[in-house]
Amino acid sequence: MSSSSRLDDPEESFMTEVENFFNTAPPLKDHSVIEKKLKGFIERNSHASENGVSMKRIVCVTSGGTTVPLEQRCVRYIDNFSSGHRGAASTECFLKAGYAVIYLHRRGTCQPYCRSLPDDPLLECFESVNGSSVQVQQAQAEAVRKAIANHHAALAAGGLLKLQFTTIFEYLQLLKMIGIALRDRESRAMFYLAAAVSDFYVPWESLAEHKIQSAAGPLDMRLAQVPKMLSVLRKDWAPLAFCISFKLETDSHILLEKASTALKKYNVHAVVANELVTRKEEVTVVTTHGKTCIRREAGDDEMDRKENEKNTNTNL
C-alpha cells in the first residue's frame, strides 16, 4: 500500500526521502551556537550598506568535498576529492566585489588568500633565528604577509563567516540552516555551490556500528543515493536566492549535456561545467541564454600556476 502510493507520487516519495535523511542523520554538534553565529552575521550584514543600496548582498560559497562514513564509530569513510581552491578563490572575488560571504568549507581545505602558499606554510615559510625567535623566509615574506593581512582584514570587517563540515550529514544540515536563514533576503542572497558533494551514502541506521572486519573475505557494499537537496534549496529553503551550481565530470562527452539537464532539473540560474583534468584552465558557464566557455589566458594568475604545480602530486 505505502509503496504503491509512493510510486504514484514521485514528488511525495522524494520529500519522504529528504525527511528521512534529516531525521536519521546524526545531529549537528553545536547546532545552536552555529545558528546564533549565522543569524548574527546575517543581521549585521543586513544593516551594512553596499554601493548606496541599504542591504549588503550575502553569498554562501560551499567548498571542498564531503565524506560518507562507512561505520558509525567512524574509521573508514568515502571522500570526494576537492582541494577547495576554487571556493577559496571565489570567496576572495566575492569579498572584493562587496558581498558578505558565508564560507561553508570542508575542515582543513584551502582558505581564502592562502592559495599561493605551500601546503604546510608554518614549516615551509618560517625559520627559527638562533633558536629564540621565528622569522618568515625572505622568498615567501610577501605572500605570507598578504595572506595573513587580507584574511584578518576580511574577518575584522565582519564580511566573512567561516563554517566547517566534514561529513555529508554535517554539510546538508548546515546548507539547510543557511538556506532557511537567508530565505528572507530573497534575491539579495546567492548560493555558489562549488563543494564536491557525495552522490552516494550509507544511511546512518544501516551503518555498521563497529569497524568492518577484514577476515571475512571481500566486502560488498550497497550505497544509497543522496537525495538531490539542490531541489529542496530551490523550492523550499530559499526559492528567491540566485543559485549557481557546479558540475564536475571526468568524461568531456557527457559534461555539457549533464550541465544542461541540471540547469533545467534544479531550476538554477547557472551551472558551471568543468572537467577534472582541465578544470583550472577552462570552464563552461551554462545558463538558459546559452553556453559560455571561459579560458584562462596564459600567465593570468601566478597564484594559480603555483596551485597547479602543488596539485599535480595529490591527484592520481
Q: Does 14 bind a second copy (CB under 8 A)?
A: no
What would the DSSP string read from start to end of 102-132? EEEEETTSPPTT-TTS-SSHHHHHEEEETTT
CB closer to a second copy out of 96 and 210: 210
When binding is defined by CB under 8 A, the residue of 13, 16, 72, 260 that contacts a second copy is: 72
CB closer to a second copy out of 35 and 240: 35
CB closer to a second copy out of 41 and 113: 113
Alpha helices in 238-281 (DSSP H): 252-266
Closest distance between a second copy and the C-beta of residue 25, in Å? 11
Contact 159, 102 (CB under 8 A): no
CA-derived radius of gyration, the chain? 21
CB closer to a second copy out of 168 and 189: 168
Query: Which positions from 22 through 51 interact with a second copy, judged by CB under 8 A?
Result: 26, 29
Contact pattern from residue 185 through residue 224 relative to a second copy, giving x for each residue in contact according to CB under 8 A and a dash for the rest: -----------x-xxx--------xxxx-x--xxxxxxxx
In the numeric block, the cell 549557481 is attached to 244
Q: Cα separation of 114 and 143, whole Å? A: 8
CB closer to a second copy out of 59 and 117: 117
In the numeric block, the cell 614549516 is attached to 123
Q: Cα separation of 68 and 165, whole Å? A: 12
Lookup: cell for 47: 544593516
When binding is defined by CB under 8 A, the residue of 111, 173, 245, 284 that contacts a second copy is: 111
Residue 134, strand partner residues: 128
Q: Which residues touch 119 (CB under 8 Å, ≥6 apart)?
A: 310
Q: Does 97 bind a second copy (CB under 8 A)?
A: no
Q: Cα separation of 260 and 285, whole Å? A: 10
Closest distance between a second copy and the C-beta of residue 40, in Å? 21
In the numeric block, the cell 531541489 is attached to 231
Contact 179, 229 (CB under 8 A): no
When binding is defined by CB under 8 A, the residue of 45, 67, 173, 284 that contacts a second copy is: 67
Closest distance between a second copy and the C-beta of residue 163, in Å? 12
Q: Does 76 bind a second copy (CB under 8 A)?
A: yes
Dihedrals φ, ψ of 264, to 5°?
-75, -50
CB closer to a second copy out of 97 and 277: 277
CB closer to a second copy out of 175 and 238: 175
Q: Does 123 bind a second copy (CB under 8 A)?
A: yes
Closest distance between a second copy and the C-beta of residue 131, in Å? 5
Query: Which positions from 217 through 276 interact with a second copy, judged by CB under 8 A?
Result: 217-225, 248-251, 276
Q: Cα separation of 212 and 121, whole Å? A: 36
Residues, the chain, total? 316
Q: Cα separation of 308 and 299, whole Å? A: 13
Closest distance between a second copy and the C-beta of residue 240, in Å? 28
Query: Which positions from 131 through 160 interact with a second copy, judged by CB under 8 A?
Result: 131-134, 136, 141, 144-145, 147-149, 151-153
State the number of binding residues for a second copy (CB under 8 A).
Answer: 74
